[in-house]
């Protein structure tokens, strides 16, 4: 399973729709690889599971896709949409 651990955002970077790229690993630790938002959306839409992993707190959440003009990434924690991706480190 892929774990998103860092995000890159476009200005102003206050909403999930501003995420342009992510860095992820194939476990909660290990080498980071980069992917565009579109590539990660396609990966999830093809039926693959992705979670966030906050390197500082250990918090995790499921990553899903939504559409608001274009497809974007967001998270669901405790059954509701959340901003866990924006709480991750930046690159």
- Give the total number of structural domains in the chain: 1
CB within 8 A of 26, min separation 6: which ones? Answer: 1, 2, 3
Indicate the DSSP class of residue 45: H
Q: How much is the pTM?
A: 0.94
Question: Could you read off the pLDDT of 17-71 as tens digits, one per residue?
Answer: 999 999 999 999 999 999 999 999 999 999 999 999 999 999 999 999 999 999 9
Going by C-alpha positions, the residue among 78, 53, 89, 68 that lies closest to residue 15 is: 68
CB within 8 A of 41, min separation 6: which ones? Answer: 65, 71, 72, 73
Give the Cα separation of 65 and 73 in Å (integer).
Answer: 5
**Domain span at residue 53?**
2-90
């Amino acid at each position: 399973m892929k774990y998103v651990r860092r995000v890159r955002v476009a200005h102003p970077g206050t909403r999930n729709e501003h995420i342009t790229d992510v860095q992820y690993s194939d476990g909660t630790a290990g080498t980071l690889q980069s992917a565009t938002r579109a590539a990660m959306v396609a990966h999830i839409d093809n039926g693959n599971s992705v979670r966030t992993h906050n390197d500082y707190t250990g918090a995790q959440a499921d990553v899903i896709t939504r559409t608001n003009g274009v497809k974007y990434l967001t998270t669901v924690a405790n059954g509701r949409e959340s901003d866990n991706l924006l709480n991750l480190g930046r690159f």
